[in-house]
Amino acid sequence: MSTLRRVAGKLGGLLLTLFLASLLVFFSRFLVPGDPIRFLLRGRKPSPEAIADVTAQYGLNLPPWEQYVRWIAGVLHGDFGRSLQFRQDVTAVLGDRLPVTLMLVVMAGTIIAVVGLVGGTIAALNKGRASDRGILISLTVLGAIPSFVGSIVLIAIFSVQLGWFPSFGSGSGFWDMAYHLVLPSIALAIVFIVLVGKVTRSAMVEQLNREHVEVATSRGITRLAVVRRHVLRNALGPILTVSGVLVAGLIVASSIVEQAFGLSGIGSLLVGSVDRLDFPVVQAIVLLVVTAFVVVNAIIDILEPWIDPRSAAGVGAR
């Protein structure tokens, strides 16, 4: 019952957070300078009748609270409204671009998990040695490279000079898309590898100094078994917490990489929609990012007691 109450509490907090986020996402557009009606009627001098027709068509003549109720009711049914620049449903616009961003984020996340965890683990197990210092220096250097600079360097080396990977476009089909997204996923992952690597090293070094690890080692348990059972598992808490934060960061940072590589994803769509005051598209993308962030963190909170039983008992790391 305690587990069910805990899960119910997390789900209740998730729904409340999403509700508050939806309020912020929707009403923030009233603070942005610019008139969406002027954008819809661009290229011609609008008459009062044309302005009235467009205003009624997009529901802009309704009170803000009523616009929100209509919008959130549509969102709950998968309808995010109609794009001002594409003149089609936002769901269709996102559906064409979402697969590119999802694959980009998944590939970058895989690179971050593998390189960050492995690098951090090797550094922790060799604390104070040359390999530890080398990894820390490498992570520091990588952390100083912005995504757009990394994109330019990767294109110059692996696309222009070596010709191994394409430098533009997202390809067609699963494998062709994966091939086109190799360099973008590396460029997107660079900065986040640093965070995961340093957190992994710090958490594992802390666990390696625990008394129970020393006792297990003194009893003749192999180093691999000690690391796997007592060190890595107890260090997963902060690593997963950071990973949850990275989800939103990857989606937002993808806009820079998508622009550099000419990818038609939701990141580049967000940049273009902000520039063109396409409020329905901006609201939909921001709400999706917030939802992904909140859901992933809620899942991590729910799974944490199974990963680290001490958290369920309210015992902190010692």
Identify whether residues 98 and 46 lie together within a single domain.
Answer: no
Identify whether residues 70 and 116 lie together within a single domain.
Answer: no
Residue 194 structural domain? 91-312
Identify whether residues 36 and 100 lie together within a single domain.
Answer: no
CA distance 237 to 208: 15
Identify whether residues 181 and 33 lie together within a single domain.
Answer: no
Identify whether residues 144 and 254 lie together within a single domain.
Answer: yes
Domain boundary among 49, 76, 103: 76
pLDDT of 50 reads 61
Identify whether residues 33 and 167 lie together within a single domain.
Answer: no
pLDDT of 315 reads 45
Q: What is the mean pLDDT of the chain?
A: 78
Domain boundary among 19, 41, 76: 76
- Predicted confidence (pLDDT) per residue in 37-58, tens digit: 665 656 556 666 666 666 666 6
pLDDT of 311 reads 52
- Predicted confidence (pLDDT) per residue in 62-106, tens digit: 777 888 888 888 888 888 887 877 778 888 888 888 888 888 888
CA distance 143 to 43: 45
From the number of C-beta atoms within 10 Å of its C-beta (0-12, 13-18, 19+), residue 313 rates as exposed
Identify whether residues 195 and 308 lie together within a single domain.
Answer: yes
Specify the number of domains making up the chain.
2
Residue 308 has pLDDT above 50, yes or no: yes
Confirm whether 86 is domain-assigned.
no
Confirm whether 84 is domain-assigned.
no
Q: What is the pTM of this model?
A: 0.75
Identify whether residues 184 and 299 lie together within a single domain.
Answer: yes
Domain boundary among 48, 76, 104: 76
* Span 235-250, average pLDDT: 76
* Span 9-26, average pLDDT: 84
Confirm whether 182 is domain-assigned.
yes
* Span 127-154, average pLDDT: 82
CA distance 34 to 39: 9
Confirm whether 256 is domain-assigned.
yes
CA distance 296 to 33: 33
Contact of 91 with 82, CB cutoff 8 Å = no
Identify whether residues 57 and 200 lie together within a single domain.
Answer: no
Structure tokens at 51: 């302005």
Binned at pLDDT 50, 70 and 90, residue 318 comes out as very low
Confirm whether 159 is domain-assigned.
yes
